[in-house]
Structure 1
């Protein structure tokens, strides 16, 4: 980090070289200041403040929890939803031979046929959904597929224009944790559907920002750290890092490979833009220090000995004081040096 900050400072010092020559420290090498000289063309105050070092990386505005939807339905696809559509419990994910494949809520996939006599948590999921959709006045939500469950299923199948069997399987229902947003439609109208074939890509409804973070910048990836995201159109939204990948991924050609880790950021408020996969700028905090002396970066002078100094302006004269650099942020840099204090004036290039 220190090397990175020093490199940034060197670049800015080069831009300021027009107003001052390289600082000259005493030949004794003790770090004492050079004799008084003519003051700089402009000055700025040494301030004592908190300093945040930030770095901006590229990200993508997307949605959480992408996953694939498959069904056991066989036949011809006769209807599919539009990309971006929101699908809630009891609504159709697609239709095969004009028969709907219905979304119901639950974490357990429908891995078997549910019918009278069957018991288990998948039965509980089904009964909970039937109740939520208004079926089965006499139905008790438990883990047993009873006659009351059978009657509720028959009523539901009639309303959905399905064959009234009293049984439920993966040709009729797909369980998902909650409401889904259609991301990518894999099935097309007129295409043959086959069991296990991917029909849709769906996501959750929460907006998030995804970053493929270079492993060289892994120090920026702190779960819970606050970030600022600049969205298309200039909107800026606060957020925090909620997921940090643990597996590095390598991409690119042999002579130009990039190794990254996944970073997911949750936004504090819903952004105005409706765009998906939109490019964004993500401002990450890499270091935060409190109550340190700071000067504008352009106040730094490159010294003959290879370090840095600042020109302290006092009355009609000035002197160069060698400094050690610390954190960098918002155009200022932390400095420590003999005799430096809050409120002192340092030389900067003329505006």
Structure 2
């Protein structure tokens, strides 16, 4: 079909209609961009905060005090030169240097070529132990030798006789040293020579036999006296063994100085310093936790709480350390002696509940004008308030008793605060930036 010509008037009408359509579309698009001031403010406002909750827990509530501590030996034993031994000798050997653990019968020093060894005992070494000597020091010598398998025969406990002398002789042979004797070896030799002379005389003249018998009796007496002894300077009686050598009184080639020997006795313990204000909270028997330099944790108990100490000012008029209470803690499992002098972290459990109780974070509890304590439970988008009675407080938690008792249970979510949501970031349009 042929196309009909369009009149000028018709073309004008169509142009107007098209322009109106464009304007209408532009208006609709502009309407999406134009907002009222109230809408702009609403869009710029931050989103409502979200509620933070934490579950009610069934746990032990206790307060923990923390402090720095040092590993030390429970006690120290020092051995000086016994009065009977005179001046200490030259150090010729150190078989057990500092840090060495020694058992009963162990040699710790060699002074002027003679051994110094340790045995268990409470009575210090103060005299030579030889035939005819009796006392507690003899008894602990006998016990020490018996622990090494060297019995004292028929000797009475505490009396040094031939049986004890025999045990001493065998012990020194184990150490590899000649035993010293209590008598005069020269006198014994002279008596033995006299017996031989009397024997020759008696052979020639029977009248000399009584003289021979007397000489033989004297030799027997001298030999009985000239038996193994333990010089005062060669045995160190220690209250508890094993012990660890802490120091010796010099080096090889020097004359030993007192104390000749220092021993660390007993298992290592931890000494900590607590502020005086915490004194009433700590008592012997409390449980504790010790974390050593390697990060390993050890269970421990408080075994002693000392009196407050006021340190003296330091050198150069430096201010004194703050007053403190010394606390001794004993690990459940003995620490290695090598840990002595190491710094550790100590955590003391004080003022706690006897067992697990209902507890909430401290931030969950709030007070009202009526003086009561409350928590808010937030479940399924709804919030309700529960009255509670607060109990023990510790480590960020509070023991609670709900009112009524069944109003809360372990796992119930309680409000501990709110979190502001991050504002929305508006994107940049084309050509912006």
Instruction: Give me the TM-score of the superposition, normalised by structure 2.
Output: 0.62
Alignment map for 1:17-166 (pairs within 5 Å): 41-72=51-82, 74-80=88-94, 81-135=96-150, 138-140=153-155, 142-157=157-172, 159-165=176-182, 166=228
The structure, 1 or 2, with the larger RCO (C-alpha pairs under 8 Å, 6+ apart) is 1
Partner of 1:297: 362
Partner of 1:222: 283
Partner of 1:326: 391
Runs of 5+ consecutive residues of structure 2 not aligned to the other structure: 1-47, 183-227, 420-433
- 1:40-81 Cα distance to aligned partner (Å, 9 max, x none): 612123344431221211111233322223233522112233
CA distance in 2, matches of 1:192, 1:339: 81
Structure 1 or 2: more strand by fraction: 1
The alpha carbon displacement at 1:291 in A equals: 5.4
CA distance in 2, matches of 1:302, 1:107: 63
Q: How many residues align?
A: 311
The alpha carbon displacement at 1:179 in A equals: 1.6
> For the structure 1 residues 95 and 350, does the alpha-carbon distance in structure 2 shift closer, same or farther, using more than 3 Å as the test?
farther
Contact 2:132/2:159 (<8 A) preserved: yes
CA distance in 2, matches of 1:169, 1:261: 45
**Does structure 1 residue 250 correspond to structure 2 residue 310?**
yes
Candidates 183, 196, 211, aligned match of 2:272: 211
The alpha carbon displacement at 1:157 in A equals: 4.2
Runs of 5+ consecutive residues of structure 1 not aligned to the other structure: 1-37
> For the structure 1 residues 170 and 183, does the alpha-carbon distance in structure 2 shift closer, same or farther, using more than 3 Å as the test?
same
CA distance in 1, matches of 2:178, 2:418: 79
Partner of 1:26: none
Partner of 1:262: 326
Larger gyration radius, structure 1 or structure 2: 2
CA distance in 1, matches of 2:93, 2:81: 14
**Does structure 1 residue 313 correspond to structure 2 residue 378?**
yes
Q: Which moved more, 1:226-235 or 1:318-327?
A: 318-327
Contact 1:313/1:346 (<8 A) preserved: yes
CA distance in 1, matches of 2:233, 2:337: 36
- 1:215-258 Cα distance to aligned partner (Å, 9 max, x none): 3222343212211111122211112122333x433215285443
Contact 2:273/2:327 (<8 A) preserved: yes
**Does structure 1 residue 347 correspond to structure 2 residue 415?**
yes
How much is the aligned-residue C-alpha RMSD, in angstroms? 3.3
CA distance in 1, matches of 2:70, 2:124: 30
CA distance in 2, matches of 1:113, 1:261: 45
Instruction: Give me the TM-score of the superposition, normalised by structure 1.
Output: 0.75
- 1:305-343 Cα distance to aligned partner (Å, 9 max, x none): 999754443654446668665323343222457558323
> For the structure 1 residues 209 and 307, does the alpha-carbon distance in structure 2 shift closer, same or farther, using more than 3 Å as the test?
farther
Structure 1 or 2: more helix by fraction: 2
Partner of 1:189: 252
